[in-house]
Every structure is written in C-alpha cells, then in structure tokens.
Amino acid sequence: MQKVDILAIGAHPDDVELGCGGSLAKFSASGKSVAILDLTRGELGTRGSADLRDQEAEEAAKILGVKHRAQAFLKDGSIRNDEASQLEVIKWIRYFQPQMLLINAPTDRHPDHGHAAELCRDAGFKAGLQKIPSAFKGQIQQAHRPKTIFHYIQFWNIQPEIIMDVTGYLDIKVKSVRAYASQFYQANSEEPQTAISSKNFFESITYRAKDMGRLIYTEAGEGFISAQPLGTKTLFDLI
C-alpha cells in the first residue's frame, strides 16, 4: 500500500497533465501526496511510440512533483467498463487509498475518455465493497472508497461545476505537457499532424486556463465536474 491524498487517472499518458496538471502541481507544492494512474500506454497514438510515451510520462510526473505513477496496461482504443477492467482499477485504488479521484471527462472527442470515466466511477464505488476480493503482489487488499470523485475537462468545452485556482502553476502545467514532445506542437516535427499537435491546440492550454481563471477572478483555473453531490457545512465556506 502506498497511501496518497489524490489519485489522478487518465485513459492515456498526458490526459491528466492536460486536464488537471495545474491542480496536481499545486496539490504537490502544498504538501498533498499525489499519484497518477495511466490506464493505457497510448500505444495507438499517431505520433511517437508507447516506449517513448513511457519516458515522457515519467518526466512529466517529475515536473508536476508527483512521486508515484502507475500503469494499468489496458488496451488503448478499447477501454471498456467490464469486470476485468474494474478489478484492475480497484486494485490501484486500494493500493493508493486516495481521498480524492480525478478522472477523465464524462464525454469527449476520444471515446476512451468517456469509457474511462464510467469505468473509474464504478471502480471507485466498488473498491469500497469488502466482498470484492483483490490482491497486489500476493497481498490481500482491504476495501477502500474515495470520498470524492471529480471529472476534469478535456478536448470538448464542458461547463465546469467548480473551478480550482491554479494561479502560479500554469507554467508548470504547460511544461509538463511540453514533456510529451512526441505528441504536441513542434515547429520542425516531421510526424503526421493530429488534432492535438497543432500550434493552436498547444496555445489553448494557456488561454483556456486563463479563461477559467477569469470566471473566478484569478489569473488561471482548471474546471471540474463532480461525480456526486457536493456538501458544505455553510455556504460561507465557498466564499
């Protein structure tokens, strides 16, 4: 067991960096423990290779201050919310025992994102059921259910329910995304062009964060959707 405060899960390496990299950097800097779980190696990606993305993912985690990054080895392009996949995610949730899960957008341009969101929501609940057995490296695991689950926002513009202020951490987020040199804009690249390799897409990382910040009167923000009703003892806690 490697207990952390936050577990960020992405269908592909670079999902969490794009969706909530600023938040992860801020959490890490504040002393919160963070882990990342990539469900696949992104092996179907048009550019680069799975081996190269493994290296890029490790570098991105270092930039964000994240000490633990794991790989579930599900099949890229074929993420399904089936029993075997749920048990794999349950294993990692019980291993890290997070209070909070940050997961893919509930619907998005890439089908894997929505499928991963459904998978992780269900696994997050079922990880708390004692009668579902799991083991890690031969050791029987105890049930654990995260207290909160939030979806980060990805390619499509989805109305956020809550925006986290990431002022001062936007540069770190951008640097973590830039670590995936095989995937994103490089002026001299001879790789095929994709929807995320354009200069416009890379610039959108900054202007979207600044627009989210504008909505909450700060310099930069990242939007989230809650997978469950949010509660507070008093509305003044939200001021």
Is the pLDDT score of 1 beyond 80?
no
CATH number reported for the structural domain that contains residue 80 in this entry: 3.40.50.10320
What is residue 238's predicted lDDT score, i.e. its pLDDT?
83
**Would you list the DSSP string of 31-55?**
T--EEEEESS--TT-SSS-HHHHHH
What is residue 179's predicted lDDT score, i.e. its pLDDT?
98
CA distance 58 to 79: 22
Q: What is the mean pLDDT of the chain?
A: 97
Residue 144 lies in a domain: yes
Average pLDDT for residues 75-99, to the nearest whole number? 98
- Give the number of other Cβ atoms within 10 Å of residue 75's Cβ: 14
Residue 235 lies in a domain: no
Number of domains in the chain: 1
Residue 237 lies in a domain: no
What is residue 234's predicted lDDT score, i.e. its pLDDT?
95
| pLDDT tens profile 156-203 | 999 999 999 999 999 999 999 999 999 999 988 889 999 999 999 999
Query: Could you tell me the CA-to-CA distances from 137 to 95, 123, 238 in Å, in that order?
Result: 10, 19, 42
For residue 209, give the 3-state DSSP assignment. Answer: helix
Residue 34 lies in a domain: yes
Residue 233 lies in a domain: no
Task: Give the predicted TM-score (pTM) of the model.
Answer: 0.96
Domain range for 94 is 6-227
Residue 1 lies in a domain: no
Residue 239 lies in a domain: no
